[in-house]
Structure formats: structure tokens, C-alpha cells
């Protein structure tokens, strides 16, 4: 069995009742990882809006002329009489807005060109709606209409300021110029003139703006079905924990100290005669009934920490990490390529888009039928990350267990057990020393947070330009390239940290038992001593002298002065066991 680390192997060695409780706790953890983060979520509310380019006298009384045929061309309404009552009401709203009514009240605010470009250069417009671009041009006899141009902007357009390029912006002469709305907005924000070339008017300059204010309508929502699932899973967990506390009364083998205490009190006859056994010997020879006689001590020098972890754990952890990081890198490449079609993809631009921020570009274009599917997809990386952390944490637990084991060969120590008796110490509150537990928990929390910012639920309710109803809802999954880069960087650091820890040396020579219960048992066969007395004192593992009936030396725990194993010396654990 494995001692001190989570192990599926142990499930086949415990009672059926405890196995069922373990499975119940484990199975109910999966839906929690997939659902818990999104039981409560935020729904943004954005606004579609019209952009009107008007003359500087558009808002003067009687200046507006309603003969602009292109103003109503989008609605395809010839005359109000040809419409239904509902359409007619919307026509009236449109005409009221077009004529600039109520622009002198608090409903509208005056903005400078730089303020206007900065305010409307955003992914989703939350606090404003329709916009009038006031030019320095005045209506005249040749063109007596105060409305010069009109654009209807929808919030799910690929670029937040794409409307800037729907006109013909006037720029400094440059070969093969491609309109970049972000660059254009940045130039206006920096104070450069905002000019347009309208074919039927000529070059005009924007001198100011009138922006319609809108109340924010963002919501905090929750899914009733997800909340019920979360409550049910937590209820099963609580019941399983209570049953474990109430019904499980037998001694536990949770820590290395628990195993040493148990095997010193009640020796295991199946491991007698192999006090030199390490984890590899148990797997290769002892399980086949081989090599239980006296043997030379061939270990020359102390081992490194990585030897206390089985190859299976190393391979499983590194393989899983490698696969997940390769998949994440491929998805990152696809995300950068997708964003690069409309945005800059340098680190500065990606950082400016933020971590976990919903924007109109970095959204998955796959068809998701409902919000539950979006939630499951957004939280799937959280479940995968939790599994990876369990394998990663087991590496450190095994290495630290090996370090604690080696200290018993370095000096006398008290046993650290789950339920301490006189002369013993309690185990660590976080299972491993705080020096390692706190950084590991910090790493786990940071990875989970960055992962939640890398792929996340994106839900936006978009209102029409009049603010009267929701025209459509975006419910999908968003991603952040800079957050994915941060996760990959932190993941590489975590692997390097584990490799660096594995390269450390143990403080003394001792058998490398890892978490193997048989190897621990083999090292705990006392000779000529009272086991009850030993476990209540500081003990040390090493050479306790010659076994009289065999004529060879013996390695075990003792509270007396002992010496370290000698290279080339013959040792055996077959001695007189205390009855």
C-alpha cells in the first residue's frame, strides 16, 4: 500500500464501506469543479447605437430638414402609413432622435473629439448610446441637408471602433495605407485633427460630439439548475464526512509516523529478514518471494530526493503536464491567429485587453446551444487543473516523506503521527511542512485564478439603439491570450521547481522506501527491545549490532545510540521478534 499520499491502489485494500465513501466524495468533486465557479455570474448589458454626422447648425431651431432619403433607407419604410402601429412608434423614436430633440437636457452630454473617440473606442458600450458627430461644415444652397451621414453600429461587430473606417478618414499621405480604427482613435485622443472625406461634401473636420447617456443595466444572475446540483453534491460530501467520523474507529495509517508506530508495535512477519529492503527491492524481488537472506549494504553516499518517487508518478505527472501544456499552446496559437486578423497581437496589445475581460474579438465562434454548455466548457480546464495539482502535490509529498525518513538515519527524532501519544508529535496541519505547503497552495490558487481568466463565460445582453428591448444575447466562451501565456509560464516554472527539488540530497544514508508500506515494515523489526518503550521516545534508524542466532548485523529503529550502515557490511532483518 501507499502511505501518506492519495492512491487509487489503496482502494482495493480497504473495507467496502470506506471505499464507497471515498468514491462518493471523489465523484461529487467533479461536478463542483465544472459548475461551482459559474453558479453565480455577471451578465453585461451593451447598447447598439446610431452615429450621425451633422453640420454645425443641425441643432439650431428649424435647421433640420427631414427630406434625407438615406436616413430611412435602413428601415425600408416608404411612408409611415405603410407601417404597422409598432413600426410607426419606432419611426417616431428614430425621427425624434434624428432631429436632436432633448439634446439640450441632461440626456445628452457634449464631448470633445478626443473624449468622444476615447469613450466610444470600447468593446461594449455600457453607459452611452447614440452619437452625433458635429462637424465644422454648415449647410448651404448646394447641400441644404444638415444630416451628412449615418451609421448603425452593432455591438458584436469585430472591432469596437470599426465605424471609424466606414467613412473615408483623411490621414497623412502614406503608401498602401490600411485603415486601422484603433490607430485612428489613438491619434484623435492625442489631439490630432479628426477629418473625413465625404464624396458629396468634401473634407470635413469633427469639432465636437453629442453623446446620449444610458443607464447601466448589468446583472448578477445565477442558474437554478446549477445551484441545485452544487447543493446536492455538497450534501453528499457532508454526509460522507459525517459517516467517516462516526463509523471509522480503527487506527489510521495516514502519515509515515503512523506506519512506523504501527509496525514497531506489531511487527509484520511477511517482511522479516529484509531490513535492507528499499522500494525497488520490494517491487522486483520480495513480491516474487526472492532475496530474503542476508545481504551486503551496497549504498555508498546519500540519495537524491527524486529517488523517493516512483517512476510511475514521475511519468504520470510529467506526461499529463506535457499533454495539457501542448494543447494549451496550440489553442493559444489559434487564439493569437484569430485575434491577429483584426487586432495587434504583441504583448503590449494583449495586456491592454486585460485578463478575463469580455471583448468583441476574443470569443469562441463555436455553436453553443445554451448557457449550461458555455459554463461546462469554461470550467472544464478547472477540473483538469485540479487533477494535475493532485499528481503534482503527490510528487512533493513523496519527496518530503523521503526527506523525513532520511532524518531518522541522521539523528534521533520523535515520531510525528495523526493521533499522538506521550512522547510523540502531531502531524502537520497541512500534511507537509508549511515551508512547502504554503507555496504549493499559493501556486494552486494562482493557477486556478489565471485559468479562470484564460477561458471564461461571456454573456452580454445587447439593447437596441432606443434602449427599449433586448435585440439579441451573446452567450459563449471568451478567452484571454495574455492569461493563457501566464498559465503556461507558471506551469513551466512548476515543473522546473519539482525537478529542482528532486535534485536535492537527503541528509543521511538510508533505504529509499518512498511511500511503500512493505519497505517501511521491513525497516521496523526491532530486536531485543520493548517496542512500546521505543515508540514513546526519540528513535533513530541504523546498525544496532549483531543478531546472535544469525551472526550478522541488523538494521532497525532504536532509542539507543547506534551507528550508520557500513558499505559492504552484511545485514539481515531475521532476528528474535518480541512475542
- Dist. CA 132–CA 117, nearest whole Å: 12
Identify which has the larger pLDDT, 71 or 32: 32
Model confidence at 446, pLDDT cuts 50, 70, 90, reads very high
Same domain, 499 and 527: no
What pLDDT score does 442 carry?
A: 93
Phi, psi of 79 (to 5 degrees): -140, 150
Percentage of the chain lying above the pLDDT 70 cut: 82
Nearest CA to 363 among 459, 491, 266, 251?
459
For residues 495 and 291, the answer to whether their CB atoms sit within 8 Å is no
**Domain range enclosing 262:** 253-301+509-579
Structural domain includes residue 238: no
Span of 22-36, 276-290, 314-328 with lowest mean pLDDT: 276-290
What pLDDT score does 68 carry?
A: 47
For residues 556 and 524, the answer to whether their CB atoms sit within 8 Å is yes
Same domain, 474 and 326: yes
Same domain, 491 and 370: yes
Model confidence at 410, pLDDT cuts 50, 70, 90, reads confident
Structural domain includes residue 235: no
Model confidence at 70, pLDDT cuts 50, 70, 90, reads very low
For residue 10, the 8-state DSSP code is G
Tell me the Cα Rg of the chain: 36
Same domain, 454 and 543: no
Of 459, 491, 506, the last residue of a domain is: 506
What pLDDT score does 74 carry?
A: 45
Structural domain includes residue 19: no
Same domain, 517 and 578: yes
What pLDDT score does 166 carry?
A: 60
CA angle 372, 378, 380 (to 5 degrees): 100
Model confidence at 242, pLDDT cuts 50, 70, 90, reads very high
Average pLDDT over residues 530-543: 82
Task: Report whether pLDDT(237) > 90.
Answer: yes
Same domain, 291 and 313: no
Average pLDDT over residues 54-58: 79
Task: Report whether pLDDT(222) > 90.
Answer: no
What pLDDT score does 71 carry?
A: 47
Same domain, 203 and 273: no
- Dist. CA 464–CA 466, nearest whole Å: 5
Task: Report whether pLDDT(236) > 90.
Answer: yes
Identify which has the larger pLDDT, 62 or 229: 229
Same domain, 143 and 204: yes
Structural domain includes residue 240: no
Q: Is the dihedral of CA 353, 359, 361, 362 positive or negative?
A: positive
Identify which has the larger pLDDT, 488 or 366: 488
Task: Report whether pLDDT(83) > 50.
Answer: no
Average pLDDT over residues 32-60: 81
Of 506, 534, 551, the last residue of a domain is: 506
Same domain, 353 and 498: yes
Cell, residue 332: 493559444
Range among 99-103, 122-126, 367-371, 444-448 with highest mean pLDDT value: 444-448
Task: Report whether pLDDT(418) > 60.
Answer: yes
What pLDDT score does 210 carry?
A: 86
What pLDDT score does 121 carry?
A: 78
pLDDT digits (tens, 9 = 90+) for 308-360: 888 888 898 889 888 988 988 998 888 888 776 656 666 777 777 778 778 77
Task: Report whether pLDDT(364) > 90.
Answer: no
* 3-state secondary structure (DSSP) of residue 521: helix
How is the beta sheet containing 552-558 ordered, strand by strand? 295-296, 570-571, 552-558, 540-547
Identify which has the larger pLDDT, 343 or 533: 533
Cell, residue 51: 452615429
Structural domain includes residue 76: yes
Structural domain includes residue 232: no
Same domain, 195 and 96: yes
Average pLDDT over residues 504-512: 86
Same domain, 312 and 297: no
User: What are the DSSP E strand ranges found in 97-154?
Assistant: 108-111, 128-135, 147-153
Average pLDDT over residues 203-215: 84
Cβ neighbours of residue 536 closer than 8 Å, sequence gap 6 or more: 421, 422, 423, 424
Structural domain includes residue 18: no
Structural domain includes residue 38: no
Model confidence at 179, pLDDT cuts 50, 70, 90, reads low
Number of H helices, E strands in the chain: 14, 16
What pLDDT score does 122 carry?
A: 78
* 3-state secondary structure (DSSP) of residue 191: coil
Task: Report whether pLDDT(231) > 60.
Answer: yes
For residues 307 and 398, the answer to whether their CB atoms sit within 8 Å is no
Of 174, 194, 219, the last residue of a domain is: 219
Mean pLDDT of all residues belonging to the chain: 79
User: What are the DSSP E strand ranges found in 285-349?
Assistant: 295-296
Q: C-alpha distances in angstroms, 531 versus 210, 435, 537, 559?
A: 89, 33, 10, 10
What pLDDT score does 343 carry?
A: 60
What pLDDT score does 302 carry?
A: 80
Task: Report whether pLDDT(376) > 70.
Answer: yes
What total of structural domains would you count in the chain?
3
Model confidence at 174, pLDDT cuts 50, 70, 90, reads very low
Same domain, 129 and 68: yes
Task: Report whether pLDDT(100) > 70.
Answer: no
Can you give the pTM of this predicted structure? 0.79
- For residue 228, the tally of other CB atoms under 10 A from its CB is 11
Model confidence at 490, pLDDT cuts 50, 70, 90, reads very high
Amino acid at each position: 500500500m501507499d502511505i501518506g499520499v492519495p492512491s487509487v491502489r489503496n482502494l482495493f485494500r480497504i473495507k467496502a464501506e470506506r471505499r464507497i465513501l471515498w468514491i462518493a466524495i471523489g465523484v461529487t468533486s467533479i461536478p463542483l469543479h465544472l459548475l461551482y465557479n459559474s453558479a453565480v455570474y455577471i451578465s453585461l448589458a451593451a447598447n447598439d447605437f446610431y452615429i450621425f454626422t451633422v453640420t454645425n447648425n443641425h441643432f439650431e431651431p428649424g435647421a433640420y430638414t427631414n427630406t434625407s432619403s438615406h436616413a430611412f433607407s435602413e428601415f425600408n419604410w416608404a411612408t409611415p402609413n405603410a407601417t404597422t402601429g409598432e413600426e410607426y412608434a419606432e419611426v417616431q423614436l428614430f425621427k425624434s432622435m434624428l432631429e436632436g430633440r432633448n439634446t439640450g437636457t441632461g440626456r445628452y452630454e457634449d464631448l470633445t473629439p478626443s473624449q468622444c473617440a476615447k469613450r466610444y473606442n470600447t468593446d461594449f458600450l455600457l453607459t452611452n448610446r447614440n452619437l452625433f458627430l458635429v462637424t465644422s461644415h454648415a449647410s448651404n444652397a448646394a447641400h441644404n441637408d444638415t444630416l451628412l451621414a449615418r451609421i448603425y453600429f452593432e455591438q458584436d461587430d469585430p472591432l469596437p471602433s470599426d465605424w471609424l473606417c466606414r467613412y473615408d478618414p483623411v490621414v497623412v499621405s502614406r503608401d498602401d495605407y490600411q485603415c486601422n480604427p484603433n490607430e485612428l482613435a489613438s491619434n484623435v485622443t492625442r489631439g490630432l485633427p479628426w477629418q473625413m472625406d465625404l464624396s458629396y461634401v468634401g473634407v470635413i473636420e469633427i469639432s465636437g460630439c453629442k453623446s446620449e447617456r444610458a443607464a447601466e443595466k448589468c446583472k448578477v444572475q445565477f442558474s437554478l439548475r446549477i445551484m441545485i446540483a452544487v447543493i446536492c453534491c455538497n450534501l453528499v460530501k457532508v454526509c460522507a464526512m459525517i459517516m467517516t467520523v462516526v463509523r471509522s474507529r480503527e487506527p489510521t495509517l495516514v502519515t509515515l509516523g503512523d506506519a512506523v508506530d504501527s509496525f514497531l508495535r506489531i511487527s509484520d512477519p511477511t517482511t522479516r529478514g529484509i531490513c535492507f529492503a528499499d522500494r525497488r527491492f520490494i517491487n522486483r524481488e520480495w513480491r516474487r518471494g526472492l532475496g530474503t537472506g542476508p545481504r551486503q549494504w551496497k549504498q555508498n553516499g546519500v540519495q537524491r530526493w527524486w529517488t523517493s518517487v516512483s517512476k510511475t508518478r514521475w511519468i504520470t505527472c510529467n506526461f499529463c503536464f506535457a499533454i495539457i501544456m501542448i494543447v494549451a499552446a496550440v489553442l493559444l496559437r489559434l487564439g493569437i491567429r484569430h485575434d491577429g486578423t483584426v487586432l495587434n497581437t504583441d504583448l503590449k496589445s494583449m495586456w491592454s485587453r486585460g485578463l478575463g475581460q469580455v471583448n468583441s474579438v476574443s470569443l469562441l465562434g463555436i455553436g453553443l446551444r445554451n448557457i449550461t454548455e458555455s459554463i461546462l466548457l469554461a470550467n472544464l480546464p478547472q477540473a483538469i487543473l485540479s487533477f494535475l495539482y493532485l499528481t503534482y502535490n503527490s510528487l512533493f509529498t513523496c519527496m518530503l516523506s523521503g526527506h523525513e525518513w532520511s532524518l531518522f538515519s541522521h539523528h534521533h527524532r520523535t515520531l510525528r503521527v495523526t493521533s499522538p501519544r506521550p512522547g510523540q508529535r502531531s502531524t502537520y496541519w497541512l500534511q507537509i511542512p508549511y515551508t512547502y505547503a504554503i507555496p504549493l497552495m499559493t501556486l494552486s490558487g494562482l493557477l486556478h485564478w489565471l485559468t479562470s481568466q484564460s477561458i471564461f463565460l461571456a454573456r452580454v445582453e445587447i439593447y437596441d439603439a432606443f434602449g427599449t428591448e433586448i435585440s439579441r444575447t451573446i452567450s459563449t466562451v471568451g478567452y484571454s491570450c495574455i492569461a493563457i501565456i501566464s498559465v503556461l509560464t507558471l506551469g513551466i516554472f512548476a515543473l522546473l521547481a519539482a525537478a529542482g527539488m528532486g535534485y536535492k540530497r537527503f541528509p543521511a544514508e538510508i533505504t529509499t522506501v518512498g511511500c511503500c508500506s512493505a519497505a517501511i515494515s521491513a525497516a521496523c523489526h526491532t530486536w531485543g527491545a520493548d517496542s512500546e518503550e521505543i515508540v514513546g521516545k526519540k528513535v533513530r534508524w541504523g546498525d544496532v549490532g549483531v543478531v546472535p542466532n544469525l551472526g550478522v548485523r541488523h538494521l532497525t529503529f532504536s532509542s539507543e545510540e547506534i551507528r550508520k550502515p557500513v558499505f559492504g557490511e552484511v545485514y539481515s532483518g531475521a532476528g528474535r521478534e518480541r512475542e
